[in-house]
Amino acid sequence: MIHYLKVKIILSDFNDEPNNESIEKVLNAKNFDCSSPILDKNELLNLSYNLFLKNEGSYLYGSDWNMLDQIIVSSELSDGKGLDYKCGSFEIVKPEFMLIKTGDKIGAPLSTYKGSKYIGGYSDHFPVAAKFYFMKGT
């Protein structure tokens, strides 16, 4: 028997932060706290929100970290049935080879370009990741 999962996983550089109107009001993506019950089965949950609240981010603008890269999922991914999000596993991936090592942007992502000059880096954003697991027998 084939079972189909009707879940949403939205992973993007939104060019907005989790508390911006486009994310909170238009998309209606809520902060997801693993310790709080999901009241609405049709909610979208923003997995990046908690790190955003700790002033962490995937993109450095000036001296401020911005959480532009986000993972937003449907609430079915936290119901303990089938495919589920592993609570607290959302992370900003910062491999050593992507880090700026000198200057005023130490710890920021090493970009491919600086203006129109190729500098051989990777991206001006860090990637984001989350872990999911599949419940056997569902």
pLDDT tens for 10-38 read 999 999 999 999 999 999 999 988 887 77
- Cα 87 to Cα 10, 14, 69, 77, 136: the distances in Å are 17, 22, 18, 10, 18
Is residue 4 included in any domain, yes or no?
Answer: no
Is residue 1 included in any domain, yes or no?
Answer: no
Is residue 55 included in any domain, yes or no?
Answer: yes
User: One-letter amino acid identity for 23?
Assistant: I
Number of structural domains in the chain: 1
Is residue 41 included in any domain, yes or no?
Answer: yes
67, 15 Cβ separation under 8 angstroms: no
pLDDT in tens, 71-125: 999 988 887 777 889 999 999 999 999 999 999 999 999 999 988 999 999 999 9
Per-residue DSSP letter, 82: S
Q: Cα angle at 49 between 131 and 13, to 5 degrees? A: 75
The residue range of the domain holding 95 is 9-134
